[in-house]
Structure 1
Amino acid sequence: MRSLINDLMKGYYMPHIRMRAIETEQAAKISQVLLKELSAATKAAEENFTFELIETTFFADGKKTRSYPFIEVYWFDRPQEMQDQCAKIITNRVKEIANPEDVIVVFNKLSKTDYYENGSHF
């Protein structure tokens, strides 16, 4: 509980990480290796992270196609330096495990007044 309170006071509660265009086994491995590194980089407790694999189909010119990994990070606003560091960590680990040529990382900043847990915003 103390960890959660400290994280809330710093504003470093969550993030939620969503992955697309990655195999299930790769996503499991990525979530495992990213947890400790991102926790250290963001100063958020490991139990505050969630990882999600979104199964999706990509199309180009009307045909099914493969895509590069697309990673979305939903979190409360953090300093640019922290965001840059996390983007590098995510990119490096995804490239190491899934071996794609390109990796896209997108950060979605959430307002604490728009984020509700059990009916109450932060």
Structure 2
Amino acid sequence: MIEAAMLKVIQETGEGVLVLIDNVEADEFHRSRLTRLEVRRLLGAMAETLLSLSDAVQAAMPEIDWGTWRSVQQGLRVASVDSDELCWDAAHSLVPATLSWLRVYRRSEPALFEFKP
């Protein structure tokens, strides 16, 4: 199932974001061009992949904040100070919440995460 592979990408990109911001303060994040760019890239990949999931899979995971992910996707289209703040906020709140819900769904809806030939 393609969605299982997509969910794995979402998990991995989210974990990558969390590794990059671990023990990083906001001012340090804003000064670090490389960290900002990589967090932005990973958030973009995460948003694109999440929003490319089928309607059925999205409906099976109602606690994921789909509307905010759409806003993140749109906000990342333009590089600006506002998009840097968007990245910081998403990395600290939206990503951890999404990964937490994915863990819950992995237990309650394991079929969504199974790779099938």
Give the alignment's TM-score, normalised by structure 1.
0.28
- Higher-strand-fraction structure: 1
Q: Specify the structure having the higher radius of gyration (Cα).
A: 1
Higher relative contact order (CA 8 A, sep 6+): 2
Q: Given the two structures, how large is their TM-score scaled by the length of structure 2?
A: 0.29
